[in-house]
C-alpha cells in the first residue's frame, strides 16, 4: 500500500510539472539593454545607429532591481558631458496585448527625474515585444519620444 501511494504521488508530481506553461527562454529581461531607436511620432522623425548622439542603457538584475544609465539631456536629445544613473525596482507581468510578451513597471528609488513618462513621477513603463525589444512609449500620451532598446549579447 505504501509503495502504491508513492507511485501515485510521483505520477501526480510529474503530471503537474509538465502542465506548467513556461515563457520561451529567449524572452529573458535580465542583462544589458541599449537604446537602438528613437522616434518622434509628431514629426515622423526616426533616429537609429550613429544618428543617436547619446547613450542610454538599462541593466536588469535577477533580484528585481535595475540601473538606468544615460547621457541624454531630458530637455533635448543632446548628450550630457557626464553620464547620470538611477537605481530602482522593477515588476514584470504577462502582457495583455498579444504583440507583447511582458509589461514592466520600473519604480525609481534614486534620480526619479530620469523616469520617462507623462506626469507619473518616478515610474516608467516598458513593454517587451515578441521581437525581443524593449519599448518605452510612456511619453506618447504627451506627444513625446518613443525609445526602443535592444539586448546586448555581451556586457559592454
Residue 91 within a domain: yes
Give me the residues paired with residue 72 across strands: 79
For residues 124 and 119, give the distance between their C-alpha atoms in angstroms, rounded to a whole number: 10
Report the predicted TM-score, pTM, of the whole model to 2 decimal places. 0.77
Residue 120 within a domain: yes
For residue 133, count CB atoms less than 10 angstroms from its CB and return exposed for 0-12, middle for 13-18, buried for 19 or more.
middle
Residue 8 within a domain: no
Residue 9 within a domain: no
Q: What is the pLDDT along the chain (156 residues), one digit of tens a residue?
A: 555 545 555 555 454 444 334 445 567 899 999 999 999 888 889 999 999 999 999 999 999 999 999 998 776 677 888 889 999 999 999 888 888 899 999 999 999 989 988 877 899 999 999 999 999 988 777 878 899 999 997 654
Residue 130 within a domain: yes
Residue 133 within a domain: yes
What's the structural domain count of the chain?
1
Q: What range does the domain containing 62 cover?
A: 29-151
For residues 8 and 25, give the distance between their C-alpha atoms in angstroms, rounded to a whole number: 31
Residue 22 within a domain: no
Q: What CATH number is associated with residue 42? A: 2.40.128
Residue 24 within a domain: no
- The backbone torsions φ and ψ at residue 15, rounded to the nearest 5 degrees and listed phi first, read -60, -45
Amino acid at each position: 500500500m505504501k509503495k502504491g501511494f508513492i507511485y501515485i504521488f510521483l505520477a501526480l508530481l510529474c503530471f503537474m510539472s509538465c502542465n506548467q506553461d513556461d515563457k520561451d527562454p529567449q524572452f529573458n529581461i535580465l542583462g544589458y539593454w541599449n537604446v537602438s531607436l528613437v522616434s518622434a511620432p509628431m514629426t515622423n522623425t526616426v533616429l537609429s545607429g550613429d544618428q543617436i548622439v547619446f547613450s542610454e542603457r538599462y541593466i536588469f538584475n535577477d533580484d528585481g532591481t535595475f540601473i538606468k544609465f544615460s547621457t541624454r539631456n531630458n530637455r533635448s536629445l543632446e548628450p550630457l558631458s557626464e553620464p547620470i544613473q538611477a537605481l530602482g525596482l522593477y515588476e514584470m507581468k504577462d502582457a495583455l496585448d498579444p504583440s507583447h510578451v511582458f509589461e514592466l513597471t520600473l519604480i525609481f528609488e534614486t534620480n526619479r527625474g530620469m523616469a520617462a513618462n507623462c506626469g507619473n513621477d518616478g515610474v516608467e513603463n516598458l513593454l517587451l515585444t515578441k521581437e525581443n525589444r524593449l519599448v518605452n512609449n510612456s511619453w506618447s500620451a504627451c506627444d513625446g519620444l518613443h525609445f526602443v532598446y535592444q539586448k546586448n549579447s555581451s556586457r559592454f
